[in-house]
Structure 1
């Protein structure tokens, strides 16, 4: 039987998927190797140990779920378009899984993951704040609105996370735009 070569990226994809449905307890190397159709030695070729693997998964999730979303919104010319792209991305990218929940749980026992998640959430709020300031909001008002928007997102996500991808991202973006951003005194 030919040897099946599995890439580091395939291991990371598998790990992110497993972590999002069961946390670190779902990262069983031998089981994932069977599911990928390879030997577990390929895992150790890419990752020194399970903890290094978990850190790679978390770093990749952070990159995709935060910094890629920010970069995508920066491709837009106007600040209004950047805000709308960001909001739409926030409400259209969930998969019916819960990476954040398991990362938050892991952070209860490991301060490094707690601090990392806090940094990511602060970066998200800071990014939205910067867009709102660019739109014309005073700094303090922008911070308050960005925090409200992020907490609205967390509540929405918690309520809808197991429903899978939703088609109402545009509706939620329009709702936030009308009742939070326009109503609260941004420049029109």
Structure 2
């Protein structure tokens, strides 16, 4: 039987999938190795410890779910276009798992993860704040609305995370967000 080579990236992506399904309790190296079709020794080729592995999982998640979303939104020429793109990405994606929930749970035990969680959430709120200021909203009002919109999204995602939403439902939430928090 040929030896299966699994890359560091494959291990990290598998870790993201597992973490969002049950947090660090789902990061069982033997089970993940079996799922990847390799031996667990390949894990130790890339990661000297489980804590380093967890850190890399969280770093990639941060990049994929925050920095890439921001980068994609920046591509639009107008503040309105950026806001609409961001809202579409926020409300248009469900069934991602509970990564943020499990990161919040992990952050209660380890201040390093609390720092990452706070940084991610602050980055998200600040990006919306910048967009609202670019749109012409007063900075203090923009920050308050950004905070409210982000926390609304957290509750909304928790409520809808197991559903596949129609485009009409997504557009309804976007229109509501625009009317309630964004229009000036």
TM-score in terms of structure 2 length: 0.95
Matching of residue 166 in structure 1 with residue 165 in structure 2: yes
Q: Which runs of 4+ in 1 moved over 6 A?
A: none
Matching of residue 84 in structure 1 with residue 84 in structure 2: yes
For residues 42 and 14 of structure 1, what CA distance do their matches in structure 2 show?
13
Q: How many residues align?
A: 182
Q: CA deviation at 1:13?
A: 1.3
Paired position in structure 2 for 1:37? 37
For residues 48 and 36 of structure 1, what CA distance do their matches in structure 2 show?
19
For residues 113 and 58 of structure 2, what CA distance do their matches in structure 1 show?
9
Matches within 5 A, 1:76-155: 76-155=76-155
Q: CA deviation at 1:96?
A: 4.4
Q: CA deviation at 1:180?
A: 2.1
The residue matched to 1:93 in structure 2 has which SS? Answer: coil
The residue matched to 1:109 in structure 2 has which SS? Answer: coil
Matching of residue 21 in structure 1 with residue 14 in structure 2: no
Paired position in structure 2 for 1:61? 61
For residues 111 and 162 of structure 2, what CA distance do their matches in structure 1 show?
27
Q: CA deviation at 1:92?
A: 1.8
Render the CA deviation track for 1:20-72: whole Å, top value 9, x for unaligned. 11100100001100111001111111111111110011001100111100000
The alignment yields a C-alpha RMSD, in angstroms, of 1.1
Check the 8 A contact 2:20/2:96 in 1, yes or no.
no
For residues 31 and 114 of structure 1, what CA distance do their matches in structure 2 show?
28
For residues 64 and 92 of structure 1, what CA distance do their matches in structure 2 show?
16
For residues 138 and 44 of structure 2, what CA distance do their matches in structure 1 show?
51
For residues 166 and 112 of structure 1, what CA distance do their matches in structure 2 show?
35
Paired position in structure 2 for 1:48? 48
The residue matched to 2:102 in structure 1 has which SS? Answer: helix
Q: Which runs of 5+ in 1 are unaligned?
A: none
